Amino acid sequence: MKRWRWVRYLFWVVITIIWVSPLLITFFTSMKSLDELLQTWWLPPRTWHPENFPQAWSNGKMGRYILNSFIITVPSLVGTLFLSSMGAFALSSYRFRFAVPILLVFVAGMLVPFQMLMIPVYRFSLNVGIYDSYLGVILFHIAFQLGFCTFFLRNFMKTLPLSLFEAAKVDGARDFAIYWRIALPLVKPALAALATLEFTWIWNDYLWALVLIQTDRFKPVTLGITVLQGQWIAQWNLIAAGSLLAAAPPVLMFLLFQRYFIEGLTMGAIKE
């Protein structure tokens, strides 16, 4: 039995190393000089060139793109959590005629292929003058993520004891106060899970930025990398450094709040 355990450990480590090898290779690539890059392949660099990172940051404007990503991601995240928690509160705490149809609309919307929305959202943004601005992408993210977030939070709020709200009501609390002071604090773990997940999704969005943003100054980091690729043809070391910079915030988020991230992925999917 003991021998088997070591075999299993070995198996784990080998699989994991194979699994993360693309990441390791990217890290090595980001630390190499261009000359070395064309000679050796997957090996660690012989001479380390960390200056690739500042170069990608300033010459490649990754710093600016990362700032743009934060400018887009943070308000989108706050907005969608606020709106979806209000919706979820109404759908889970009150009995009213359209509760089920409204929930179904949110769920169906989250399954629709993005392509169904692309042309009209582009046209709408152009018509109301929010095309090619932070606001256009932010408002879209807030609205589009509502489907998943409302569904997710409703399922969670459904497990809260209604008697708690009723007691507050008897004490004269207003509906909004019940939502804000009682319901929200009780669903903090679900909000945390949702926030980690949504941060990653919005940060990593490429398609909607591609459709709704044109000017370089407003581009988030996902578009920024492809700009970099066009500028530095075959300078894979700098592109690798830029990609790692772009990946850092969501990876950090994942490492810090891993439990929430995984809970979010599975709670959203499994609770029905």
Partner 1 sequence: MRTKWWVPYAFLALPLLAYSVWVIKPIVETFIISFTNWDGISKTFEFTGWENFKFLFQDHAFHIALLNNVKWLLGFTAVAVPIGLALAMLFNRQGVLANVCKSLIYLPMTLAFVVRAQMWSWILEPRHGVLNTFLSAIGLGALARPWLADPTLVTYALIAVALWGQIAYAMVLFLAGMKHVPLELVEAASVDGATAWQRFWYVILPMLRPAMVIAITISIIDSLRAFDIVYVMTRGGPFGSSNVLANYMYIQAFHNYRMGRGAAIAVIQFVITFSMISFYLRWVMREERGRGS
Nearest CB to partner 1, comparing residues 134 and 254:
254
User: How far apart, in whole angstroms, are the C-alpha atoms of residue 207 and residue 253?
Assistant: 22
CB of 144 to partner 1, least distance (A): 6
H, E, C per residue of 20-77:
HHHHHHHHHHHCCCHHHHCCCCCCCCCCCCCCHHHHHHHCCCHHHHHHHHHHHHHHHH
- In total, the chain counts a number of residues equal to 272
CB of 133 to partner 1, least distance (A): 15
CA angle 243, 244, 246 (to 5 degrees): 65
Binding of partner 1 at residue 177 (CB under 8 A)? no
Pick the stretch among 52-60, 70-78, 185-193, 235-243 that binds partner 1 (CB under 8 A). 235-243
Binding of partner 1 at residue 33 (CB under 8 A)? no
CB of 60 to partner 1, least distance (A): 13
Pick the stretch among 44-52, 54-62, 86-94, 187-195 that binds partner 1 (CB under 8 A). 86-94
Which residue is listed with tokens 């959590």? 81
Nearest CB to partner 1, comparing residues 162 and 217:
162
Token output for 231: 């500028």
Residues in region 205-224 near partner 1 by CB under 8 A: 205-207, 210-211, 221-222
Which of 59, 69, 63, 67 is CA-nearest to residue 235?
59
| Site residue total, partner 1 (CB under 8 A) | 93
Nearest CB to partner 1, comparing residues 47 and 266:
266
